[in-house]
Amino acid sequence: MNTVYEKLMRCYKSVQEKIHFRPGVALVLGSGLGDYADGIQVQEVLDYSHIEGFPVSTVPGHKGRFVFGYVRDVPVVIMQGRVHYYEGYDISDVVLPIRLMKLMGAQKLFLTNAAGGIGDGFQAGDFMLITGQIANFVPSPLIGPNMDELGVRFPDMSEIYDKDLQKVILGAAKDLEIPMQQGIYIQLTGPNYESPQEVQMCKTLGADAVGMSTACEAVAANHMGMQICGISCISNLACGITDHPLTHKEVQDTADRVAPLFKQLITESIVRIGKLK
């Protein structure tokens, strides 16, 4: 049997033994949003370390657990802490939690991250609705024997980010009077930030924001037929666009500063997504 599928099934069985909650929406929390899950009506919590075979993050300060509960009346599963490719995991491990949340019942996926701004007019602290992505700088999580149980061998990627969900988020942002940028997210491996030349390359390729997560998760989720949406917090202007050296502290400080607004936007968006068919 396929070892990636076997591992996923082992994790799924482990979750099923412990959790009896069926989420509709899966939410992945990026930098600055770690405590969003503490503000919802929590029903159940499952530490990643209690799931047999589950990849556990090595980044200090990253909590690692699934939180199950309600955003108003919408049943959600929240990933508090994700694993990154730069930590040294196989890409199939990086997307395992996404696949698991789909198996738990979540049909919709809400991805968030912190990213470097490339797009014209972008400022640190902006939010960007992700309308498309470039994932080719990390391996596809679909490499290897296809898991026919999850999806087809050659999945279409023409609309990874669901148009209806995009409209919902823009509507929520408008009503909350939160300005939104829109654009293309590009994932590089990290963990180093980009050189100015690499940022220029990303811009030439059409990217508006650069980060180290998300796109591979969206590929795996799209393979499984999930409806996907995503928002980047532009935590800094990318290297060479800003004139000062980048630090993780700057990324965290900006993400923390705009987190209250980001949380409002997520809550309002999820409530509206819950009302969709």
Q: In the numeric block, which tokens belong to residue 39?
A: 């503000």
Candidate ranges 72-80, 92-100, 209-217, 263-271; the one touching ligand HPA (CB under 6 A):
209-217
Least spacing, CB of residue 234 vs ligand HPA, in Å? 8
Catalytic residue among 222, 232, 235, 236: 236
Which helix (H) or strand (E) element contains residue 258?
A: helix 248-275
Least spacing, CB of residue 211 vs ligand HPA, in Å? 4
Alpha-carbon span 29 to 189, nearest angstrom: 19
Least spacing, CB of residue 11 vs ligand HPA, in Å? 27
Residue 218 CA, chain-centre distance (Å), reads 8
Active-site residue flag, 87: yes
Q: Based on the shown chain and the rule CB under 6 A, indicate whether residue 193 belongs to the binding site for ligand HPA.
A: yes
Active-site residue flag, 62: yes
CA atoms within 13 A on the CB side of 163: 2
User: Which residue's entry shows tokens 């014209």?
Assistant: 120
Catalytic residue among 5, 104, 161, 213: 213
Per-position b or e across 62-95, b if 16+ CB within 10 A of its CB: bbbbbbbbbbeebbbbbbbbbbbbbbebebbbbb
Q: In the numeric block, which tokens belong to residue 208?
A: 């508006």
Q: Are 52 and 26 in contact (CB under 8 A)?
A: no
Catalytic residue among 62, 70, 180, 250: 62
Residue in 100, 114, 207, 229 binding ligand HPA, rule: CB under 6 A: 114
Residue in 97, 116, 119, 183 binding ligand HPA, rule: CB under 6 A: 116
Least spacing, CB of residue 209 vs ligand HPA, in Å? 8
Task: Name the residues that contact ligand HPA, by CB under 6 A.
Answer: 114-116, 193-194, 210-212, 235-236, 238, 246, 251
Catalytic residues: 31, 62, 84, 86-87, 114, 212-213, 236, 248
